[in-house]
Amino acid sequence: MSNLKGHNRDLAERAYRVRRNAVLMGEVQGQGYIAQALDIADVLTVAYFHAMNYRPEDPEWEGRDRFLLSNGHYAIALYAALIEAGIIPADELESYGSDDSRLPMSGMASYTPGMEMSGGSLGVGMSIAVGMALGLKRKHSSSRVYILFSDGELDEGAVWEAFMSAAHYKLDNLIAIVDVNNQQADGPSTQVMAFEPLVQKLEAFGWFVQRIDGNDLDAVVGAFDAAKDSHEAKPRIIIADTLMGKGVPFLEAREKNHFIRVDPHEWQLALAALEEGRQS
Amino acid sequence: MTKPVPKQALSSASSSTAAKPRLTTSAMIASIASEGQRTQAAPFGTALVELAKTRPDIIGMTADLGKYTDLHLFGQAYPDRYYQMGMAEQLLFGAASGLAAEGFVPFATTYAVFATRRAYDFIHQTIAEEDRNVKIVCALPGLTSGYGPSHQAAEDLALMRAMPNMTVIDPCDACEIGQVVPAMAAHQGPVYMRLLRGQVPLVLDEYHYTFELGKAKVIRGGRDVLFISTGLMTMRALEAAKQLENDKIDVAVLHVPTIKPLDTETILREAQKTGRMVVVAENHTIVGGLGEAVARHLMLNGVAATFRHIGLPDAFLAAGALPTLHDRYGISTQALVDQIKKWQD
C-alpha cells in the first residue's frame, strides 16, 4: 500500500478504521460475518469517503446518494463505515446485535440511520434499486443509487429481472457493486451455482461493466470514478473480486469463513494484524 | 361436490356407445355479472385516471397485465407516469417499494395469484416491513377465473391479512371500487385491493352506499339471518335476500369491504342482536379469511350466535365456466338461497 497517492493513503487509513470497527463489533458477539466485513471494507471506504454525497448530520437529506445494502448480513460492515462516516455514533458499536440495539445483525431500514432498505431476504435489493433510480429520474435528481450485493445473490432469479429492467430503463444513475468473494452459506459460490462468465453476461444484459480487485484501493477508486464519469446510457456495475478476511491473515486462511466463530484471545490478534497492515 | 369430474369418468363416457353428454358452458365465460345486470366499465382505471389529475405523485406500474387490470387507461392518460415492468412480479413490487421510498405513490397491478403467491416475500420485505406507501391492486381474486388453480387466488385474503402493516380491501362492485381508489390513495401505508375488472356489476348505488376505509356497513336489515359478507359475495347476499323474501325469510346484509383492519365493533354489535343466524359469506377459501376472523372475535367476546360459513372448499378448484363453478362451490346466488332455506328449516 506504500505506493498509494495522498488521497488514497487517507482512504487506506479510513479502510483500516472501518475494519477495526467491524472487528470490535464482531468481538461483542464473538462470531459473525467478520470475513465479509473485512473483504468489503475497501469498497465501502471508497463509496463513503470518495464517491458519495451525504450529510452525516442529516442521513435523510434529499440530495444524498442512496446506498442500498441488499446482503443484509453485511450490516456489520456497513455499520463500521457509517460509524467512520459519523452517521452512527461510535459508542453504539458495543451494542451490535444486542437486544434493543439500533444495530441488528441483519440490516433493517427502520432501525438504523443511513440504512436505506431492509436486506436479509437475499435478492430483493436490486429491484428496490431499480425503483429508486426510476424515482430519482422522475424527480430530475442528480443523486445516484449505489447498491451492494453478493455473488450468492446471483442465484436469485429476481436479480436478473432487475438487471433486465435497469438496462431497459437506461438507469445510468444506478451503480451496483457485486462482492465476488466466492463464498456463500453452502460453500464456494462458483460451485454452489456457476455464474461465470459474469462480465460477458452482464454486458449482454446491457450494463456498463468493470471487473476489479476489490481490495486494491487504487482500482476501486478508478472503478467508482469511471462508473460516475461514463456517459453511456446504461446502468453500471462493478464486479469486485475480494478476499474473505482481508487484512487478518489467520482469517484469510480459514477455509470455511462464511460465518465464523473467533476465540476470545483471537480478537486481539485480529486487531494487531490490522495494526500491522496499517504500519506497513 | 367439491371435486372436478375425474378423468376416468370422462374417458369411459367418450368410449362408450352412449351419446356424448352435451357440453353446457364455456370456460371463457369469465364475467361475474349476471345476465341483464347493470354494469360499469373499468371502474378502477377510470377512478385512478380521475384521481391522478390532482395527485401528480400517483404512478401506475404493472407486470404485463395492464390491459387485464384496467390500468391501461391510466397508461393512455399518463404515459410518462406508467411503468411496464415486464412479466416479473417480484421486480414489480420491489421497484414499487423503491419508487415509494422516493415519495411516489405507486399503484402496482397484476393478478392476485402472482402478487400474493409468487411475490409474497417481496411484498412482505420491501413493502410491508418497510411500511412503504404502495397500493397493490389485483385482478382475479378468489374464484373469478375459470382457468384453474394457476389463476384462482382462493387464499389471497389469508395471505395478505397475515402480513403486518397491510390494509386489505375486498370491494363489492363498481360503485364501491370508484370510492375505494381515492380512499386507498389518501391512506398512508401499503394497501392490498381485490380488483373486479372489465364490465363490473353496479349494485350498491341503489342502496346509497358510502365506502369508508375500515368500516363495515349494514346494507339492509332483517330479523332471521345476518349475512356478514365481503367482496362480490355482498352482491350475491343482497340478491339472495330479495329471493328469500318469497320464503318469508328476512335477511340482513352487513358488508365488510375492509378485511383488515376489521370493524369488529360493528360486527359484534350486529352479531349480538338476538334471534339471527350469522352467516359469513366470502369469495375465498374457508381457511384464513373473513369467516375465521369473525368467528375469532365472536368467541373472544362471548357472542354465542348460531354461526355458519359459506366459502370455497379447502381444495384445488376446477377449471370451467364461472357460473358452473360458483354453483358447484356454493357461492352463486341460487346456492346461497338453497343453503339458507336448508339452514332455516
Residue in B58, B59, B91, B92 to test binding to A, most A beta-carbons within 10 Å:
B91
Rounded Cα distance between B150 and B252, Å, is: 35
Chain B partners of A138 at a C-beta cutoff of 8 Å?
Answer: 59, 99, 102, 104
CB pair distance less than 8 Å for B94 and A130: yes
Angle at A217 between CA A215 and CA A223, to 5 degrees: 95
- Write the CATH number for B273: 3.40.50.920
For B245, residues 6+ apart whose C-beta sits below 8 A from its C-beta are none
For residue B98, give the nearest of A131, A158, A161 by CB distance.
Answer: A131
What is the pLDDT at residue B1? Answer: 44
What is the pLDDT at residue A246? Answer: 97
Chain A partners of B96 at a C-beta cutoff of 8 Å?
Answer: 131
Q: Are A271 and A17 in contact (CB under 8 A)?
A: no
Calculate how close chain B gets to A28, using CA atoms only, in Å.
27
Residue B156 resides in a domain: yes
Chain B partners of A165 at a C-beta cutoff of 8 Å?
Answer: 85-86, 88, 91, 95
What does the pLDDT average to over B154-173? 98
Per-residue pLDDT of chain A (280 residues; tens, 9 = 90+): 445 678 888 999 999 999 999 999 999 988 889 999 999 999 999 999 999 999 999 999 999 999 999 999 999 999 999 999 999 999 999 999 999 999 999 999 999 999 999 999 999 999 999 999 999 999 999 999 999 999 999 999 999 999 999 999 999 999 999 999 999 999 999 999 999 999 999 999 999 999 999 999 999 999 999 999 999 999 999 999 999 999 999 999 987 778 888 888 999 999 999 999 998 7
Residues B218 and B185 in one domain: no
For B98, residues 6+ apart whose C-beta sits below 8 A from its C-beta are A127, A128, A129, A130, A131, A132, A133, A134, A135, B126
Residue B22 resides in a domain: no
Residues B94 and B193 in one domain: yes
Residues B295 and B180 in one domain: no
Q: Is A189 helix (H, G, I), strand (E, B) or coil?
A: helix
Residue B149 resides in a domain: yes
Give the pLDDT band of residue B311 (cuts 50, 70, 90). very high
Q: Does the pLDDT at position B12 exceed 70?
A: no
B101 touches chain A (CB under 8 A): yes
Domain end (from B178, B201, B224): B201
Residue B76 resides in a domain: yes
Parse chain A into domains and list their residue ranges: 6-279
CB pairs under 8 A between A and B: 98
CB pair distance less than 8 Å for B101 and A135: yes
Domain end (from B153, B179, B201): B201
Residues B72 and B193 in one domain: yes
Q: Are A129 and A163 in contact (CB under 8 A)?
A: no
What is the pLDDT at residue B29? Answer: 58
Instruction: Look up the domain containing B334 and give its range.
Output: 214-344
CB pair distance less than 8 Å for B95 and A127: yes
**CA torsion, points B229, B232, B234, B237, in degrees to nearest 10?**
-100
> DSSP state, A242?
-
Q: Is B203 helix (H, G, I), strand (E, B) or coil?
A: coil
Residues B222 and B129 in one domain: no
Give the amino acid at B326. H
Name which of A14, A43, A75, A15 is nearest A223 in CA terms: A43
For residue A127, give the nearest of B94, B102, B131 by CB distance.
Answer: B94
Residue in A112, A117, A128 to test binding to B, most B beta-carbons within 10 Å:
A128
Rounded Cα distance between B217 and B296, Å, is: 20
A6-279 maps to which CATH number?
3.40.50.970
- Report residue B32 as a C-alpha cell: 361475474
Residues B55 and B189 in one domain: yes
Domain end (from B168, B201, B234): B201
Number of domains in chain B: 2
Query: Comparing A208-212, B32-36, B183-187, which segment has the lowest mean pLDDT?
Result: B32-36
Q: Are B339 and B1 in contact (CB under 8 A)?
A: no
Pairing of strands B199-201, B39-41: antiparallel
**Does the annotation mark B155 as catalytic?**
no
**Chain A: residue whose CA lies nearest to B122:** A124
CB pair distance less than 8 Å for A135 and B99: yes
Residue B99 resides in a domain: yes
For A173, residues 6+ apart whose C-beta sits below 8 A from its C-beta are A133, A136, A137, A143, A144, A145
- Write the CATH number for B138: 3.40.50.970
Residue B206 resides in a domain: no
Determine which one of B35, B89, B155, B176 is catalytic.
B89
CB pair distance less than 8 Å for B102 and A124: no
Calculate how close chain A gets to B190, using CA atoms only, in Å.
15
What is the pLDDT at residue B14? Answer: 46
Residues B105 and B247 in one domain: no
What's the pTM? 0.94
What does the pLDDT average to over B291-306? 97
Chain A partners of B103 at a C-beta cutoff of 8 Å?
Answer: 135, 139
Chain B partners of A127 at a C-beta cutoff of 8 Å?
Answer: 90-91, 93-95, 97-98, 122, 126
Q: Looking at this predicted complex, what is its ipTM? A: 0.95
> DSSP state, B93?
H
For residue A127, give the nearest of B83, B104, B126 by CB distance.
Answer: B126
Chain B partners of A128 at a C-beta cutoff of 8 Å?
Answer: 94-95, 97-98, 101, 126
Residue B43 resides in a domain: yes
